[in-house]
Chain A
């Protein structure tokens, strides 16, 4: 009874916090301030983008039909456009945002995990992100994210504290664009950064290959260059998105779950980490090979990928989550990772001894207020001098339904089937309540077929374990 009372009290406190925060939620993020518009113009429930938000992003963080009509905070001119006629005898004209480009994203969580030592806990401030984004002139834009607090702690590493920082060039047609810096590659089934279910990340984006010691994951970021573009389909509906990238690849240490595959895999990973440390690892790259990827998505029906069919006179605030369309997509990623290679009787550290591939395909359908995403991804690692491949097949199905614009339930199913261990699946149930356009209260539960031998038991880095549990979360952006 005392425990139940405690839970009720904690829920009351959490709800009070929601009320207090939402009552004072006057400020809105950078883009909303620039256009004096609501988050719902671009988001179903932030950070999930609606069709218009995707078109806005594809247009280089600019209004698809043209900026001038909607900008409420005019930029500061660094030269009138006519200065282009003077170039190269002058600087190319540009501008900088007229208002602040900074925005903040805070979250607080309350966890309930019956199998944990501490069955329930508040984490106070789980995340504090500072987001900076804007446009510079007609073609350049930028986006940066600084994680002041992540997972309830202050990040110590450079990569953890600054997960995204990129500049972007958009050709006026938006058919050929370039992104450079630190960014989340488009070669994923669905982006980690834009997911609705904040508690658990996608296995397809995050899971490594324990037997090869490969901690590579497609998300959350890569350093390098990405070229991409969009072309609208017939009658300005749907269209093609294409992308290709050249990046460093990632080294995130021991792959999650490595400890669950027995002493052989655990020992291999320990020796690999020791060899990496002895050979000298850097924060930016672990070998001289560059990873590359390419892919594309084709959207049939719905709003054009560059905003075709969107209202040009005013920004739509209501029912903009409806976009009847089907998108099919695929990607291929090839990389090289350090590993231990057996040559003769010796085990040698080779910086690019593991050639790995990631191939994914998806179908994403929006029908009325509902959306369903289904995807499959093959992860394959091939170590030099070993005849076998290490494979994982990951399947993903995620569905959401906008019951009301402020109430969005969702469900996700994931299955990971490796050729070196036991298959695993998990369900994630979720409901988002938009208390305000910029305040979201979500309840999320993870139900997993878990055991002490399951490889995902050690997959704690990003979601604090996968035991069956529930989580209340408050997100607040301004």
Chain B
């Protein structure tokens, strides 16, 4: 029974993974194996967000939880004894506890004045000044900033310090990506369609990206100290899940507005709501 349960759990996990992969392929079907940073709309749809931020241990726990719940359901179909019902109750309670642990996080709305809409604000958590430095697991796959239709996609990308970002060229014309920012100066040179170049962003800060061939192109990588970040949708909504409880410095960044920061305490259970207002 246990083996059947685990197998079902693994199958569900695989299905979830395949769904995420398919949505990424829709964005860049020609770039197999690369991790596409979700757009604001994707995030609003709930695609790829929580999976992206989950550590390997979280994934294993989730697989086990799914397996246990699935097993409990199978058992329930055939159970008549009190002992089995008790077991089922324990399993459900364990699942609920695990689920409530995952829901610890921040959500809210950022209102921007003087700009087109409330999108492309990066909301992220930095280590509070009195908190020790922690090491976080890096994404196992490259994060992607594509060059498509003479624009960088996405326009802003939050990334954990140490993340490797891939810069493919999906246009018919050549591009030349470089950054003049002190946080991470680099120049990838001019390269044609089909070429993919990589940069590791190893210092926290804001990195502006430009193309030396097309002066109007620009993008930003916001390199963070923690994996707790989100980019707002047009309504300004954001949600950062799976945050380890504790004190943090909440920051908000927009390319045309002065940055914001404030101390926040992330509770053990549930989401803390923090609304922000950014203006000139």
Contact = CB atoms under 8 A, between A and B. Distances in A.
A and B: real partners?
Answer: yes
B215 A66 contact: no
Contact of A82 (B113, B115, B116, B218): B218
Interface string B90-119: 000000000000000000000001111100
B215 A82 contact: no
A274 interface: no
Contact of B116 (A69, A80, A93): A69
Nearest to A64: B114
A297 B256 CA distance: 31
A79 interface: yes
Interface string A152-192: 00000000000000000000000000000000000000000
A309 interface: no
Interface in B173-222: 180-181, 208-210, 215-218, 220
A86 B181 CA distance: 8
A442 to B, nearest CB: 37
Contact of B218 (A65, A66, A68, A81): A81
B217 A80 contact: yes
A85 B180 contact: yes
25 contacts: A65-B113, A66-B115, A66-B256, A66-B280, A68-B116, A69-B114, A69-B115, A69-B117, A77-B215, A77-B216, A78-B215, A78-B216, A79-B215, A79-B216, A80-B210, A80-B215, A80-B217, A81-B256, A82-B208, A82-B209, A82-B220, A83-B215, A85-B180, A86-B180, A86-B210
B220 to A, nearest CB: 8
Contacts of B210: 80, 82-83, 86
Interface in B110-138: 113-117
A270 interface: no
Interface string A82-106: 1101100000010000000000000
Nearest to A63: B114
B111 to A, nearest CB: 10
A66 B113 contact: yes
Contacts of A81: 218, 255-256
Q: Which 4 A-B pairs have the closest CB atoms?
A: A66-B114, A80-B218, A77-B216, A82-B208
Nearest to A69: B116
Contacts of B116: 68-69
Nearest to B114: A66
Contacts of A419: none
A289 interface: no
B180 A82 contact: yes
A312 interface: yes
A69 B209 CA distance: 24
B210 to A, nearest CB: 6
A82 B220 CA distance: 9
A77 B180 CA distance: 19
B114 A68 contact: yes
Nearest to A74: B116
A78 B217 CA distance: 10
Contacts of A83: 210, 215, 218
A13 B116 CA distance: 47
Contacts of B208: 82, 85
Contacts of A67: 114
Contact of B115 (A68, A78, A85, A86): A68
A65 B114 contact: yes
B184 to A, nearest CB: 12
A85 B220 CA distance: 13
Nearest to A78: B215
A93 B180 CA distance: 14
A310 to B, nearest CB: 11
Contacts of A66: 113-115, 256, 280
A70 to B, nearest CB: 9
Nearest to A87: B180
A312 B215 contact: no
B195 to A, nearest CB: 22
Given A82-B209, A83-B215, A312-B113, A68 B256 contact: yes
Contacts of A312: 113-114
B113 to A, nearest CB: 5
A93 B218 CA distance: 12
Interface string B203-246: 00000111000011110100000000000000000000000000
Interface in A44-70: 65-69
A83 B219 CA distance: 11
A278 B113 CA distance: 61
Interface string B20-40: 000000000000000000000
Given A77-B216, A80-B218, A82-B218, 6 more contacts: A68-B115, A78-B215, A80-B216, A82-B180, A85-B180, A86-B210
A309 to B, nearest CB: 13
A93 B114 contact: no
Interface string B139-153: 000000000000000
A138 to B, nearest CB: 10
A312 B115 CA distance: 10
A65 B117 CA distance: 13
A362 B280 CA distance: 33
A85 B181 contact: yes
A79 B215 CA distance: 4
B38 to A, nearest CB: 23
Nearest to B210: A82
Contacts of B114: 65-69, 312
Contacts of A85: 180-181, 208
Nearest to B211: A80
B235 to A, nearest CB: 13
Nearest to B209: A82
A64 to B, nearest CB: 9
Contacts of A82: 180, 208-210, 218, 220
Contacts of B255: 81
A325 to B, nearest CB: 23
Contacts of A68: 114-116, 256
A86 B176 CA distance: 15
B255 to A, nearest CB: 7
Contacts of B217: 80
**Most chain-A Cβ atoms within 10 A of its Cβ — which of B115, B216, B255, B256?**
B216
A224 B273 CA distance: 56
A370 to B, nearest CB: 32
Nearest to B215: A79
A306 to B, nearest CB: 11
Contacts of A65: 113-114
A74 to B, nearest CB: 10
